[in-house]
Amino acid sequence: MIPVRGYEGRRVAVLGLGRSGLATAHALRAGGAEPLVWDDSPEARDKAVAAGFAPHDLTREQAFDGVASLIVSPGIPHLYPSPNPIIARAMAAGVPVDNDIGLFFRSWGARGWESMDQTPRVVAVTGSNGKSTTTALIHHILSVSGRPSQMAGNIGRGVLDIEPAQDGEVVVLELSSYQTELARALTPDIAVFTNLSPDHLDRHGGMGGYFAAKRRLFSEGGPDRAVIGVDEVEGRFLANQMAEAPEDDRLIRISSGQKLEGAGWSVFARKGFLAEWRKGRQVASVDLRGIRGLPGAHNHQNACAAYAAARALGLAPRVIEEAFHSFEGLPHRTQIVGERNGVTFVNDSKATNVDSAAKALQAFPRIRWIAGGLGKDGGIAALAGYLAPVVKAYLIGHSAREFALQIGTTPHEVCETMERAVESAMAEAEPGEVVLLAPAAASFDQYPNFEKRGEHFTALVQSRL
């Protein structure tokens, strides 16, 4: 646990008592503060009571009297589409609003660091797609290389629930836009921006607000080194903002598909090969084609981001390459879950939007595609240019028939249920093909979350192998 500093003897309100909220309450108490906890859910409040906290009703008048700060869980809106009433009341009372990420950055440094041989460091990863895989891959590279490392944030443990730093340790954080938007302190040593595509636009008031939330990771404190994907205009703009000159190697540009040269530092992947360039010449190369845990161009971009972060931490190219080969990928993200008679079964249940589904569809040459669920605005019409590898689509869930109308002449079957889709795809798949779950839709029509959807697909496949 990281005890929160700066609130000794003061009352601090905590709104939202999920994983990060309860960890925050414990960390505040460990640092000498008095946490005042609240959640609209009676079940969550009961868990807080079981953990030793007395709920403090933040909906009451005068609830913020004598409160030094309000710490908010990431799922609770504070601005768009409208502020949560409790947050609005805190702001009206002049009570500063923060989150656990802000508390982490103000509390991470500790006495005794001056006696360490290597000061602990923080790598923070944000972006629309690939940030979980990139975060896990950086953590894996560090672990394989023998460097102490912890992984937290939007993946793994809550940031305040991790252990105090060891000598030379690196903490790797995945940070969502919900987390970066509100944190009052953001001071990573290395900040990574993978890419940007439309998502959570209602929460951020549009694309500009969404990008602004991501950009805060680079502007609030300023990292020592920035790793920035430049395959979208927003990334190119951010890279331009961070660099003082073309040769400024505090910035590492990354790309999947573009050749990046120039006087600066860049890492890019083309035709299955990763290349590192510095000062106008290539200094290293990695063949990504045979790396089982990183299939497809989107994973090659993740590899570039992780490689760049690891190089910024001083690791050698061959050490990083070796770690790539032992990386097995993350559950529900182009995860190979089985093989039979030359057919590979891939779970990419995390592909909940069109952009991430498009990346999955580009990763394999011949695909039996399971898609559908609770469709988002526009459905899957934007995938028209990515359907060439699809031998047949098997459509499930609430939007199955809507999706069927949007895929043109692509052969398809309206299956409605995962059971029927898996059964049909397995019966018809031929050697060399991939049965791919990449829904391009939310899961909430049939499953509580994308993880349960992916677990169901995996269980159905493995029970038939």
Structure tokens of 311? 């190089």
Residue 128 labelled as part of a binding site: yes
**Does 372 carry a binding-site annotation?**
no
| Residue at token pair 């190979």 | 336
Cα–Cα distance for residue pair 269/306, rounded to 1 Å: 12
Rounded Cα distance between 376 and 354, Å, is 9
302 marked among binding-site residues = no
Question: Residue 132, annotated ligand binder?
Answer: yes
Question: 354: burial class by Cβ within 10 Å (0-12, 13-18, 19+)?
Answer: buried
What's the one-letter identity of residue 345?
A: F
State yes or no: 347 annotated in a binding site: no
**How many of the other CB atoms lie within 10 Å of CB of 449?**
14
Residue identified by tokens 């690791």 is 315
Mark 306-321 as b/e (b = at least 16 C-beta within 10 Å): bbbbbbbbebebeebb
**d(Cα 382, Cα 365) in Å, to the nearest integer?**
19
Query: Starting from the edge strand earliest in sequence, which strands make up the sheet with 97-98, in order?
Result: 34-38, 11-15, 67-72, 97-98
Contact of 405 with 381, CB cutoff 8 Å? no
- Whether 437 and 457 have beta carbons less than 8 Å apart is answered as yes
- Give dist(CA 199, CA 206) in Å, integer: 9
CA distance 68 to 94: 10
Q: Determine how many CB atoms are found less than 10 A away from the CB of residue 380.
A: 28
List residues forming the annotated binding site.
Answer: 127-133
Residues flagged as binding site for ATP:
127-133
